Structure 1
Amino acid sequence: MFGFGKAKHKEISAHELADLLSAGKALVVDVREANEFADGHIPGAVNMPLSSFQPSRLPCPEGKVVVLNCLGGKRSGMALDKCSVAQDVVDTHLAGGFGAWSAAGLPVER
C-alpha cells in the first residue's frame, strides 16, 4: 500500500474495477464520509462511512466481489482491517482510491 514490500490487502486498479463493474461482477462500497460521497463517487457505489463502518452491515454482494474504496486507499485499508478481524471474506480495495478512479477519466456520479 505504501511501497514497503507486499501490499497488506488485495488491490485492484481503477481499470480492473471498471471492467468488473461493466461485467456486473463487483459491488463497490465507498467508506468516505457522506459529504465526500455526495461530491462524487463511482457509479453504483454504496456509501458506508468508515466512522460508523461495521462489516456485519455490508450489503449482500449476490455473487459479486466487494471492493472497498475511499479517496486514496488509507481508509479503505482500515475498513479491510475491520473485515479481517470480523473474519469477513471482503479483502479487496481500489488501489489509489477514488483519486485514481478520477485520474483515469472513469465516470463519476454525483
Structure 2
Amino acid sequence: MPRTKPIQGLTPSEVKELLDQRAIVLVDVREPSEYAGERIHGALNFPLSTFDPAALPGGGRRPVVFHCGSGKRSAGAIERCQAAGVNIGVHLAGGIGAWRDAGLPTIRFDPATGAVLDVR
C-alpha cells in the first residue's frame, strides 16, 4: 500500500507567487467546459472524470499543484494519486473561487461575444 501524506492547501497568493516564479505546474481538475469558461493563467486541464495519475507531467523540477472550483475535487485527485503511488499532495485551498475572491486574474470566455477576456 502506498504511503500517503497529508494534503497540503496553499493560499491563492502562495500559488500565484509560485506560478510567477515558474516553480510549479498548476493542474486544473475541473471539466473541460468549466476550464473553457474560466481558468487561471498557465493551468493545464486534466479533468477528474477521466483522470489518470500516470498521465500527469512528472520527472521535472516543478511539483504539480492541483486546483478545482472549491478544493473538493482537487483533494480527490490527490487521493487518487496517492492511491496510485504518485507523490502529489498539494492543492489550491478553496479552488478558483478563492483565487477570484483574492482578486487574482483569470481568463474568461464571454458566451455573448465569443471573446476571451483577461479579467483582473
Distance 1:108 1:20 in 2: 16
2:70 matched to which residue of 1? 72
Residue in structure 2 matched with residue 5 of structure 1 by the alignment: none
Number of aligned positions between the proteins:
103
Which TM-score applies when normalising by structure 2?
0.82
CA contact (8 A) 1:29 1:46 kept: yes
> In the alignment, what sits opposite 1:22?
20
Where does the alignment leave 5 or more consecutive residues of structure 2 unmatched? 1-5, 109-120
Displacement of 1:61 in angstroms is: 6.2
1:62, distance to aligned residue in structure 2 (A): 2.1
Answer 1 or 2: which has greater strand percent.
Answer: 2
TM-score, structure 1 as length reference: 0.89
Distance in 2, Cα, partners of 1:74 & 1:17: 17
What letter matches 2:50 in structure 1?
S
Name segments (4+ residues, structure 1) moved above 2 Å: none
Displacement of 1:82 after TM fit? 0.3
Task: Identify the match of residue 48 of structure 1 among 42, 46, 49.
Answer: 46
Residue equivalent to 2:8:
10
Tell me the residue number matched to 2:114.
Answer: none
Listed one character per residue, the Cα deviations across residues 31-69 of structure 1 (whole Å, up to 9, x for unaligned) are 000000011111010001100001001023621121100
2-side partners of 1:61 and 1:37: how far apart?
Answer: 25
Unmatched tracts of structure 1, length 5 or more = 1-7
